[in-house]
Amino acid sequence: MPSSDIIHLLPDSIANQIAAGEVVQRPASVVKELLENAIDAKATNIQVILKEAGRTLIQVIDDGSGMSETDARMSFERHATSKIRQSEDLFRIRTMGFRGEALASIAAVAQVEVRTRQETDELGTLIRIDGSEIKTQEAVACLKGTSFVIKNLFFNVPARRNFLKSNSVEMRHVLDEFQRVALAHPEVAFSLHHNDTEVFSLQSAKLVRRIIDIYGKSYREQLAFCQEDTSYISVKGYIGKPEFARKTRGEQFFFVNDRFIKHSYMHHAVISAFDGTIPEGSHPFYVLFIEIDPSHIDINIHPTKTEIKFDDERSVYAIIMAAVKKAVGVYNLSQSIDFDDNINFLNPSPTDQNNNLIPRTVMPDWAAQSKKTDNAQSRSNLTNWNKLFEGLQNSDERSRELVAFEMNTTTVSRPAYQEQALTMASKVNRMASEVISAPESDAVLFQLHNRYILSQVKDGIMLIDQKAAYERILYERYRKMLTNRNGACQQLLFPKTIRLTHSDMQLVHETKKEIRSLGFEFEEFGPNELIIRGIPADLPEESEQDLFEELIEQLKQSYSDLKLNKPESLSRLLARRFSVRYAVKLSFVEIHTLIDQLFASTDPNRTPGGEAIIVLLTMDKLSSIFKA
C-alpha cells in the first residue's frame, strides 16, 4: 500500500533560491548586503566595482577584520550568523546584517568567489561557489580583509534574470543603495567604479562633508544643522533650507541607529515641520539620524530590513517634528535679523540730518517733494500704458466681451463646422455622445470656483470638470509628441544650468529621447549637470528647473507601471500631473478654446484613467432634486 505521507524537506539548493527571492531582487540588493557586511567587519575603506550595472560582475573589497577558514565556509550556510546567540539578542541589534541569509541567498543564484584573511593569519582562504555548490576551497595569499566577487547574477534562474530592467535603471538602484550606506557611515572611505569609470571617490569625513561630496558643492549653502536630544531618542543631522526644496523626491534619508529606513509617518513629521515655508508639491532635503535603544524598535519585520516599528510612534513623531521645526525657525530668524540695522527694520521711519526719528505725521519738504515726483511719474506711466490700448475698446462687441470676462461668463459662438458633436472613437463613446454632446451655438458658459464649467444644453445643464478636461487634452497632446517626436520647443533667452543627482542623471540618459520629444532641449555640462536651452512651448509659466525636476519625478513613477508602453504611461502621468496647473480662472477665449479642444479629442467624456469629465443634469433630474 503506497504511503500517504506527502510532506518532505526542501533540498538546501531550492530553499536557498526561495530565500534569494526575498533577499536578492536585483544587483542593488547584492551591493547593499555586501556593503553592510563590510561595515559590520569594521572596514575603514570599501571599494565597489561593477560591470554592466552588476549583471555580469559585482566586486566589493574591504579592509575589515576578515574571516577564518571555518567562518568563511560557515558564512554561506543558511541562518549562519555571528550576531545572534539567543532570542534576547533580537532586541539588542545594532549591526546591519544579522539573519545569516544574505550570502547563502547570493550564492544560490550566482557564481561567487571570496578571498578573506584575518590580520593574525599568514594565509587567507579562497572559496568558489556556483549555485550553492562549493567548487573550490583552498589557502591563498591575499590582503587583510575580504573581497567578494559575484559573477553572472541569476545565471541559473533565467526567469529572474529576464525581469531585470535596463542597465541604466539597475544602475540607479545601485547608486541609491550605495549613497545610503555612504551617508550612514561618513567615517568610512568609499569608492565606486562602473565599467572602468570612477563614479564616486569618497574620503573619510564628517557628515556635512560627505553630503557635499555626494551631492555637489551647491549643497554647502543649503544645509541647516538639526539636533534634539531627549531621554527617549536623539535626533541629529542636516535639513535643506526651505528655498532649496525640489520637485523631485529621493533626497530624504532617515537612519535609525545608522540603519537606513523608510517610514512614511516620520516623513510626514518632517514635511509638517516645513509647513508654510515650501511650496506644495516640493520636497525638502534631509539626512536625519535617530539614536534609540534597540529594545524600543523592531527591525525584523521585512526581509530588506528597511522598514521599522517603534513602540511609541507618536513620541518619535513629535520629537522629529520639533527638531526640524526648530532648525527651520532658527534659519529663518537668522536670515531676517541683522543686529547692526535699525531696530525698526520692518517699517523704518525717516530720520533728519542728526539721525533723529521724524514723526510720521510730519513730513519734511524733501519727502513731500519726492512723493509729488513719484505721483507725477506714476500718472505719466499710466498715460503711456493707456495709449497702448487706444482704439481697442471702441466697439460694442469688445465692450460686451469685457463685461463677460469680468463676470467670468461668456456666450460661445462656434463656426458652422463645429456646431455638431464629433463622432467618438468607440461604440461606448458613440452611445454616450447621444446624451452628452458639445454645447449648442450661443450656449451660456459659466466658470465655477476655477474648477467647473457650466453650460446650458438642450436637455438641461452640462458640468465639465476643468482639471479633468485639461488632463484629456494634455494626454493626447503628449501622446502625439512622444509618438511623432515633434514637441514644440520654446528657446530660453538665458539657458538654465541645473544639477541632478547621480541617480537622476542615469534616468535622463535612459529617457533622453522621450524628454526631447516633449519639447525640452538640453545638453550635458560637467558631471551631473545639464544646460536647459529650451522648454515645451505650451507649459504654464514656471521655473525651468522646477519643470524639469517635476518631469524627472514623473519619469521615476512611469518605470513602476509595467502594464503600458513607455509613451502611453508617460503621457498619462504627465497629463495628470500638469493638469492641476490649469485650475485657474479662464477668460472667455480660454473657455471657448477648452471646449473646442475637449470635443475634438478621441474621448471627451473620460480621462485617460477612466474618470468622468462631463456630467449631464437633465431637466428631469433637476426637477427631482427640488421635489425630493
Distance, in Å, from the CA atom of 534 to the CA atom of 497, rounded to the nearest integer, reads 12
Pick the CATH number of 215-335 from 1.10.10.10, 3.40.50.300, 3.30.230.10, 3.20.20.70: 3.30.230.10
Does the global pTM surpass 0.75? no
Strands of the sheet containing 124-130, edge to edge, are 133-140, 124-130, 111-117, 145-151, 57-62, 45-51, 189-194, 197-202
Cβ neighbours of residue 296 under 8 Å, at least 6 residues apart? 232, 310, 311, 312
Give the pLDDT confidence score for residue 526 in this predicted structure: 74
Give the pLDDT confidence score for residue 8 in this predicted structure: 64
CATH 3.30.1370.100 domain residues, the chain: 396-628
Question: What letter represents residue 108's amino acid?
Answer: A
Residue 216 Cα distances to 86, 221, 409, 426, 505, angstroms: 45, 11, 51, 52, 13
- Are residues 187 and 204 in contact, defined by beta-carbon separation less than 8 angstroms? yes
Query: What b-and-e string marks burial along 431-446, b requiring 16 or more CB atoms within 10 Å of the CB?
Result: ebbeebbbbeeebebe
Give the pLDDT confidence score for residue 93 in this predicted structure: 52
- Are residues 463 and 472 in contact, defined by beta-carbon separation less than 8 angstroms? no
Left if phi > 0, otherwise alpha if psi is -120 to 50, otherwise beta: which for 157? beta
Q: Give the residues across from 614 on adjacent strands.
A: 464
**Architecture of 396-628 per CATH?**
2-Layer Sandwich (3.30)
Q: Per the structure block, which three cell numbers stand in for 376?
A: 507725477
Q: Per the structure block, which three cell numbers stand in for 254?
A: 532617515
CATH 3.30.565.10 domain residues, the chain: 12-204
Distance, in Å, from the CA atom of 401 to the CA atom of 556, rounded to the nearest integer, reads 45
**Mean pLDDT of successive 10-residue segments in the chain (628 residues)?**
65 61 83 93 96 96 93 79 49 50 87 95 94 91 95 90 87 93 96 94 95 89 92 94 87 92 91 88 92 84 68 93 90 45 38 42 40 48 47 43 40 36 34 50 75 86 91 88 79 87 84 83 84 80 77 71 62 79 81 88 88 89 81
Give the pLDDT confidence score for residue 366 in this predicted structure: 39
CATH homologous superfamily, domain 12-204:
Histidine kinase-like ATPase, C-terminal domain (3.30.565.10)
- 3-state helix, strand, coil split of the chain in percent (to 5) is 40, 25, 35
Distance, in Å, from the CA atom of 85 to the CA atom of 267, rounded to the nearest integer, reads 34
Q: Per the structure block, which three cell numbers stand in for 39?
A: 561595515
Give the pLDDT confidence score for residue 79 in this predicted structure: 58
CATH 3.30.230.10 domain residues, the chain: 215-335
Angle between helices 27-40 and 167-184 (to 10 degrees): 20
Residue 432 Cα distances to 285, 372, 599, angstroms: 48, 65, 13
Give the pLDDT confidence score for residue 81 in this predicted structure: 56
Q: Per the structure block, which three cell numbers stand in for 535?
A: 522648454
Cβ neighbours of residue 616 under 8 Å, at least 6 residues apart? 435, 436, 457, 459, 460, 461, 462, 463
**Residue located via cell numbers 530592467:** 165
Residue 424 burial by Cβ neighbours in a 10 Å radius (0-12, 13-18, 19+): buried
Cβ neighbours of residue 271 under 8 Å, at least 6 residues apart? 284
- Are residues 12 and 78 in contact, defined by beta-carbon separation less than 8 angstroms? yes
Give the pLDDT confidence score for residue 407 in this predicted structure: 40
Closest Cα to residue 102, out of 43, 25, 158, 162? 25
Q: Give the residues across from 246 on adjacent strands.
A: 283
